[in-house]
Structure 1
Amino acid sequence: MDNSTNLLAALRRVRSFPSYSSFMAGHERQRIKRELQKRLLRLRRQRQVQQHSNFVTKQQQIASGIFQHIFH
């Protein structure tokens, strides 16, 4: 399972790879870097959606409590 700490550490390792002279090694390095960045972005978006849904749920609970207090 991905977590941001592992993905960031992997990105740092890829960025610090020695500069290989072969085109394929450089191409592979860029591919790995892009894949890690995509996975990190996906993880961050999932967290944002989850935080937003938690916020909305909390707001709905508060609103429900206010209406119950007013109408009962």
Structure 2
Amino acid sequence: MPKKRKTKLRHWLNEQPRGSMSELAKALGVSRQYVYKIAEGNQVVSESVAERIADFTGLNVDELSYFRVVIHRPD
């Protein structure tokens, strides 16, 4: 079984108040389950969704670059 990779988004969500995943999903216009899959590293997302996640979470330029690599990397 491939090792599941935890994403920067997962770490960010763990540090936020309860309900942040729902707020992020609403801001992105997607389901909470979709955000969960992204956070767990099980969902590849488009560049526009990646940028909206970065805006919502306040990722800096370096973190955004790394996040883009991680979300587009195949298992």
Q: TM-score, normalised by structure 1?
A: 0.30
Larger radius of gyration: 1
Relative contact order, higher structure (CA 8 A, sep 6+): 1
* Structure (1 or 2) with the greater helix fraction: 1
Q: TM-score, normalised by structure 2?
A: 0.29
